[in-house]
Amino acid sequence: MFAGRLFLKRGKSFWVAIVLALAWLNGLPSKAAHFQGKNVAAATRIRLATPTASLSYLPIYVALQKGFFAKRGFDMEVIQMAAGLAAPALLNRAIDYTTIPSGPATAGARGAPLKVICFTSVKLQHVLISRPEITTVADLAGKRIGAGSFGTLPAYEVRVLIERYRLGANTIIVPLNSTNDRMIGTQRGTIDATVVPAPFDLKAEEMGLRRLLHMGTILPIPQAGLATTDEKIKTARQEIVEILKATIEGLDYTWSQREGTLEIIAKWMNLKPAQAAIVYDSVRETFSKNGVPTEEQAKAYITMLGSTAGLKGDLPAAAIFDFSLAAEAARELAVKK
């Protein structure tokens, strides 16, 4: 009960801060990247919010780089945005879509007119790393595991890990929000293990740490995709279908064109070719084929959302998801093959 009350109090000030931030951001000149179609004058401008570079939305980045959106007549303005701003920016019509579904999904569950319309990654791309003397997950019983603060995805992952592997009540979760801080803490021994997103596990190995477990093998939770407003779903359905076709083409390319995808990963993540190959092989199986999660994956996402956002009771999928347009886009692409 205390945690729930604390979350609600924090939430009010958080939304006030977001409104003020949006007002400030609206006064700034745009520094967004553009991915334009051949006929720029006739192209439809689309504003897409993304977080910092993340492999969870790699297929969308691939679609941008390969011109899949441009060939469908879209001038893509990619705006880097903090995850907490995505839902208010959608509601404020400051952006058209976001690759950060967690905020819109949480807002949708609370009644906001927002929907997640596809998932590109349907399994977590996070990796459990540990000190070198720890060789199995079971060895973490009674140890200190670094995670984000309460309400973050890493904290949820660690709680599930402790329960799944029966690590016991003496296993301590240490809140450290920064991935780098968690890796340094593991190296120095202030914590014994932590969860990091790919490709940070490569850096962890360079630091002498051990890769213990790909979290996606025990948590089939979708991670990134596309979200938009109910208004756009009602008034711009064909636009969304075309956006989703480009996204599915990005998924298909990511799955089937290894060498081309490696080149994109290496440049985007500033990795050596050999490192990009390791990363690609690590995350390839986390991606969807057509943007639509399985029922199990959708339920796992809702369970995670309820825990991390402090939402109570049953969360109706219809308030959070609308995958009908992704299914339509996949069907239309299949007919043309």
The answer to whether 55 touches 198, Cβ cutoff 8 Å, is yes
Cis before 199 (ω within 30): yes
Q: How far is residue 293's CA from residue 134's CA, in Å, rounded to a whole number?
A: 34
The C-alpha atoms of residue 261 and residue 183 are separated, in whole angstroms, by 27
Task: Tell me which residue has tokens 């980045």.
Answer: 61
**pLDDT for res 33:** 65
pLDDT of 269: 94
pLDDT for 289 equals 94
> Could you tell me if 106 and 132 are in contact, meaning their C-beta atoms sit under 8 angstroms apart?
no
Query: Domain boundaries in the chain?
Result: 30-123+222-336, 126-217
**pLDDT attached to residue 36:** 56
Listed as ranges, residues in the chain with pLDDT below 50 are 1-21, 23-25, 27-31
Amino acid 312: pLDDT: 78
What's the pLDDT at 38? Answer: 52
pTM of the model: 0.85
Per-residue model confidence (pLDDT) at position 43: 82
CATH number given to 126-217: 3.40.190.10
CA distance 87 to 98: 9
Phi, psi of 112 (to 5 degrees): -70, 145
Backbone angles phi, psi at 68, to 5 degrees: -70, -35
So what's the pLDDT on residue 6?
26
Q: What are 126's strand-pairing partners?
A: 197
pLDDT given at position 12 = 45
The class of domain 30-123+222-336 in CATH terms is alpha beta
Quote the CA–CA distance of 37 and 49 in Å, as a whole number: 19
Contact 97, 120 (CB under 8 A): no
Q: What pLDDT score does 314 carry?
A: 83
Number of H helices, E strands in the chain: 13, 11
Domains 30-123+222-336 and 126-217 share a fold: yes
50 DSSP β-pair partners: 80
Residues ≥6 apart with Cβ < 8 Å to 197 = 54, 55, 56, 125, 126, 127, 179
